[in-house]
Amino acid sequence: MENEFLNIYAAKLVEYGLAIVYMVIFVGFWRWVQGEPAPGRASDTKPAGRAS
């Protein structure tokens, strides 16, 4: 009996395709989330105050 895992049918192709698309987009998304914004963009966080 052939191993089902090795069968290639439409749904499997879409699944593997989706996984590859996800990995490609994920790398870009990860770098975007982790990256520093261009200088000059304001942020919400307050600068650390000096200890009195």
Q: Which residues bind another protein (CB under 8 A)?
A: 10-11, 14-15, 18-19, 22, 26, 29-30, 32-37, 41, 43-46, 48
Q: Which residue's CB is nearer to another protein, number 1 or number 42?
A: 42
Cα–chain center distance at 47: 29
User: How far apart are the C-alpha atoms of 50 and 35, rounded to whole Å?
Assistant: 27
In the complex, minimum distance from the CB of residue 1 to another protein, in angstroms, rounded to a whole number = 20
| Cα end-to-end span (Å), the chain | 76
In the complex, minimum distance from the CB of residue 18 to another protein, in angstroms, rounded to a whole number = 5
